[in-house]
Structure 1
Amino acid sequence: MSAVRVDTDKDDGVAVVTLDRPHRLNAIDLDMAHELTAVWRALRFDDAVRAVVLTGCGERAFCTGIDRDVDVPQPSSPYMQDDPLLTVGPKANDLWKPVVAAVRGMACGGAFYLLGECEFVVADPTAVFFDPHTTYGMVSAYESMLMATRMPYGEVARMALMGNAERISARRAHEIGLVSEVTQEGAALAAAVRCAAVVAGYPPTAVQGTVRALWAARQAALAHAFTQAPPLIALGNLPTGRQAELFGNRDRSGPRTR
């Protein structure tokens, strides 16, 4: 069964890509990661699609990052890391058609690999953004680097450092620029599709050139930062036993949403 669903409206030129693992809060396992790579690369060659909307199935979550049941073998050197999420985004797969994210429910941790490569985000009032890495003794590297290009430094630092104790509401996400629009409840997907349809109606070369130009403004800083991520992750993460211990004692004070 496919973990990624693609629905295309040939009339308005919009494809809706849906993360379809609601029973796992749309967490990304290796199969979904491979499917996302294949979807983005296929969309490069589909001239009927001129804009894309990315969303998650169900009401509880857009995406909750990598599935905790995924075991990715790693090299012994701290300078080499195999991160299955590095290739799940559209830009990582050379797709320069605009992608609009429609977020409902939780978007956390590894979800930022996807949101960080979307042009803008439309959010349901139920949307909540957070990064649990530090709570579990893990380094937030790629996630924080991507969000640092979309949010003020202090907001990214607060979210990343406070882990599960800090939740950013849709309203606050809009105030700090992470989200471009907060809709009525249940209306985020429709609003994102309307935006995508408008953009899809413009000449594709102009639109894609603009997307590429916008990404170029961020790409140099991200490329430099990304070279530092593997050793930071490898050297900073706690042993598995210690992480398991922390999982059993998390969130004593409960999350704080603002």
Structure 2
Amino acid sequence: MSGGGGHLRVSVDKDTGVAVLTLDRPEKLNAIDLDTAAELAAAWREFRFDDSVRAVVVTGAGARAFCTGIDRDVAVPQPNSPYMVDDPLVAIGPKANDLWKPVIAAVNGMACGGAFYLLGEAEFIVADEEATFFDPHTTYGMVSAYESIYMAQRMPFGEVARMALTGTAERISARRAYEVGLVSEVTAPGGVLAAAVDCAAAIASYPVEAVQGTVRALWLAKEAARAQALAHAAQLVSMGNLSGERQAGLFMARRPGFRLR
């Protein structure tokens, strides 16, 4: 399998069994619109049936961003009920599409907001030393529900809380992300994709049954708590998000620069 949709590039090395899935909207900082969300879900589902793919690396095109979450230009119609909230990003990750092949995230540049849907469903993360992580939701009057739940599975509680609550005032450096356990390796600038592919190739060289069984076991260790928390996320968003007009006003407001830690 190779190619991909309009905003997604997919390549597969048949010799190593490693697929590279690239968000390809660098002009939009790899933000995800509805087409890209659908392409991601379709790619993960296709990987399920492609036995030549034994491990996957997910990354973003360009040096500025891995992914900056949902495209702010996207309009998502919502039913008039707090019990039914449509989130276009809920199915963009591998586990949401029942893929139990190992996935490594190669983070270059910014990873923020909805990027955590992807990072939260990867087995581990490799980051360029210039990568940064932050969650802007509270700054703009939105609840960080899914993002905080995903990151609470990977980082100490206090670090997740600080990132979610400080919004755009702070960004976590790749080095700090490594120190708190979010990132497993920090690479020199420009080296993150090669490092992630090397890891994926090593894993892909092992017996498939053993690898996929181990992936499933790892996720079973925390699946119940994660599923229970995610079941409440949509309602928290519905109750806590400001109206679209008030969010737009906050987006237009001038803000001071961020602190990198």
Q: Which residue of 1 aligns with 2:161?
A: 157
One-letter code of the match for 1:201?
S
Matched residues in 2 for 1:86 and 1:71: separation? 16
Matched residues in 2 for 1:26 and 1:164: separation? 18
Matched residues in 1 for 2:9 and 2:219: separation? 26
Q: Which residue of 1 aligns with 2:134?
A: 130
Selected match of 2:182 from 173, 178, 186: 178
Worse-superposed segment, 170-179 or 243-252: 243-252
Selected match of 1:240 from 239, 244, 249: 244
Following superposition, which runs of at least 4 residues in structure 1 exceed 2 angstroms of deviation?
Answer: none
Q: Which residue of 2 aligns with 1:192?
A: 196
> Once the two structures are superposed, what CA deviation does each residue of 1:169-200 show, in whole Å capped at 9, x if it has no partner?
00000000000000111000000000000000
Q: Which residue of 2 aligns with 1:93?
A: 97
> Once the two structures are superposed, what CA deviation does each residue of 1:206-225 show, in whole Å capped at 9, x if it has no partner?
00000011111121111100
One-letter code of the match for 1:58?
G
Q: Which residue of 2 aligns with 1:255?
A: 258
> Once the two structures are superposed, what CA deviation does each residue of 1:19-76 show, in whole Å capped at 9, x if it has no partner?
0011100000000000001000000111111000000000000000000011111111
Deviation at 1:161, TM superposition (A): 0.3
Matched residues in 1 for 2:192 and 2:142: separation? 32
Deviation at 1:257, TM superposition (A): 0.8
Matched residues in 1 for 2:122 and 2:182: separation? 11
Q: Which residue of 2 aligns with 1:218?
A: 222
Matched residues in 1 for 2:187 and 2:207: separation? 28
TM-score normalized with structure 2 length = 0.97
Selected match of 2:15 from 11, 18, 33: 11
One-letter code of the match for 2:21?
V
Deviation at 1:245, TM superposition (A): 1.6
Matched residues in 2 for 1:65 and 1:3: separation? 14
> Once the two structures are superposed, what CA deviation does each residue of 1:68-91 show, in whole Å capped at 9, x if it has no partner?
011111111111111110000000
Deviation at 1:251, TM superposition (A): 2.4
Q: Which residue of 1 aligns with 2:71?
A: 67
* Aligned-residue RMSD, C-alpha: 0.8
Selected match of 1:78 from 53, 75, 82: 82
Matched residues in 1 for 2:244 and 2:56: separation? 38
Deviation at 1:244, TM superposition (A): 1.6
Worse-superposed segment, 201-210 or 215-224: 215-224
On the 8 A contact 1:124/1:185 being kept in 2, the answer is yes
Matched residues in 2 for 1:93 and 1:244: separation? 32
Selected match of 1:41 from 21, 45, 49: 45
Deviation at 1:250, TM superposition (A): 4.4
> Once the two structures are superposed, what CA deviation does each residue of 1:94-116 show, in whole Å capped at 9, x if it has no partner?
11110001000000000000000
Q: Which residue of 2 aligns with 1:109?
A: 113
| Matched position secondary structure for 1:156 | helix
| Matched position secondary structure for 2:111 | strand
Matched residues in 2 for 1:234 and 1:250: separation? 26
Q: State the identity %.
A: 71
On the 8 A contact 1:135/1:250 being kept in 2, the answer is no
| Matched position secondary structure for 1:16 | strand
